[in-house]
Amino acid sequence: MPAIKDTCENVIKDHIVRAVTDVFGTMLGHEVGDGEPCGNARVASGERNTTLDPAPVMVVGTVGFLGDVNGLLYLYFDATFATACTGVLLGMTQAEVAKSGAEVVNDAVGELTNMIAGSFKNNLCNAGHTCKLTIPSILRGRNFVVEPTSSARRYAYRFDCLGHKIVTDIIMNQDE
């Protein structure tokens, strides 16, 4: 199995920035700023990564990818921006989104995460690392931190979008 360590951090960043820019631009018509790293240190047992600032309520989409490369991609929104993006995506007013409930927002965030993971994964595949995606799932809440259970390589980037912050957090296996 090819070792992910051969894929340098710049390439990973390039893939994820393109994916986020493409998805937000195409589906929402929103421009995003350049992704700034916000904590890509290797996480060893006992060391907490606190670079992701807790927000009032977070809505987080997650999609896994499996194959030559194994990992998870998380996409963090604050709940307000998640609701706004849902309205744009589905052609609904904020009042309509609020009336429809959290399920609609969760589904929209899940789909955006799916698309970003898909774009990211396609770039990996084209570089020779084939893998498949899992179906998305959603985390919702406040003051939580996601940590890998074993040592892994982590790539987290923060993007500015219309005054809000979104964060992508990719956790990937090292060579096995």
Partner 1 sequence: MPSRILTVDDSKTVRIIVRKAFRAFDCEIIEAANGVEGLAAAAASRPDLIILDITMPVMDGVEMLMKLKADPALKPIPVMMLTAEGGREHVLKIAKLGIRDYIVKPFKEDTLVEKVGRIIPLKQTSEIQAKPRSIVDPADILVVDDKPAIVSQIRDGLKHTKWTIHSAVSQAEALEYCAKQTPDLMIVSLSLPDDSAFALYRSVRNNPKSKGTPFFGLTVKTETAMQHAAQQVGITAVITKPIDLIELESKMAKALNLDTSLRYFEIQGDSIIMRLPEACLPAVLTDVGHYMKAKLPEAVDGGINQAIIDVHLLTGVDMGIIRLLMQTTQTCRELGMNYAMVGNPRLTEACREFEDTKEWTFCETTDAAREHLARVAAAAGSRAGFQLA
What token pair was written down for 1?
A: 């199995």
Instruction: Tell me if 110 contacts partner 1 by CB under 8 A.
Output: yes
Instruction: Tell me if 119 contacts partner 1 by CB under 8 A.
Output: yes
Which part of the chain contacts partner 1 (CB under 8 A), choosing from 37-45, 110-118, 141-149, 154-162?
110-118
Three-class SS of residue 70? coil
How many Å separate Cα 54 from the centre of its chain? 16
Beta-carbon count within 10 A of 71 CB? 23
What token pair was written down for 6?
A: 């051969």
Instruction: Tell me if 121 contacts partner 1 by CB under 8 A.
Output: yes
Q: Which residues contact 94 (CB under 8 A, 6 or more apart)?
A: 83, 84, 87
Instruction: Tell me if 125 contacts partner 1 by CB under 8 A.
Output: yes
Which part of the chain contacts partner 1 (CB under 8 A), choosing from 23-31, 47-55, 74-82, 147-155?
23-31
Instruction: Tell me if 27 contacts partner 1 by CB under 8 A.
Output: yes
Token pair 């052609």: residue: 91
Instruction: Tell me if 115 contacts partner 1 by CB under 8 A.
Output: yes
Q: Which of 4, 12, 16, 23 binds partner 1 (CB under 8 A)?
A: 23
Q: Which of 107, 139, 148, 164 binds partner 1 (CB under 8 A)?
A: 107
> What's the CA dihedral at 66, 165, 100, 135 to 10 degrees?
0
Q: Which of 2, 31, 99, 126 binds partner 1 (CB under 8 A)?
A: 126
First and final CA of the chain: distance in angstroms? 8
Q: Which of 108, 152, 166, 171 binds partner 1 (CB under 8 A)?
A: 108
Concatenating the DSSP letter of every residue in 111-147 gives HHHHHHHHHHHHHHHHTT--EEEPPPEEEEESS----
Instruction: Tell me if 55 contacts partner 1 by CB under 8 A.
Output: no
By the criterion CB under 8 A, which residues form the site for partner 1? 22-23, 26-27, 89-91, 104, 107-108, 110-111, 114-115, 117-119, 121-122, 125-126, 130, 132-133, 135
